[in-house]
Amino acid sequence: MRPIAIADTGPLVALLTRADAWHSWTKRQFEAIAAPLFTCESVITEAAFLLSRTAGGARSLLGLLDRGVIEVRFSLQAELESIERLMRRYASVPMSLADACLVRMSELYSASTVLTLDSDFSIYRRNGRQVIPLSAPRIN
């Protein structure tokens, strides 16, 4: 079984924004990872909002979905109880809905790695105490 990559908002925005400080790093990650990368609708929504100030950004994001580079592989309705539990557990961080969905996805896809620029993922744990495998640059 091939490794599964789960995409967070930051890398999607960085990939589609050449002026982003993490654009080159993210582009290398996308070139090295076999498509599709899985994500959730909350990440797509956040990324589309952040890309609304980038010419053609939201349209390019939708193009990634259309070409199968990224796929939405999560049902919030089906996972609501788990999401609420995670958000309560990490209320002091605080954990966003998108982050909770990605943590839950990492539980559902146990062979996954989360592609992120968000240092909060070094705090989050899946299945209670397990470190989430990350593909992330060293962020200070």
pLDDT at 34: 87
What's the CATH code, domain 4-129? 3.40.50.1010
Mean pLDDT of 91-99: 95
Cα distance between residue 43 and residue 114, in whole Å: 12
Asked whether the predicted pLDDT for residue 35 surpasses 80, the reply is yes
Mean pLDDT of 14-29: 95
For the stretch 36-88, pLDDT in tens is 999 999 999 999 999 999 999 999 999 999 999 999 999 999 999 999 999 99
Can you give the residue ranges of every domain in the chain?
4-129
pLDDT at 110: 92
Cα distance between residue 50 and residue 54, in whole Å: 8
Asked whether the predicted pLDDT for residue 104 surpasses 90, the reply is yes
17: helix, coil or strand? coil
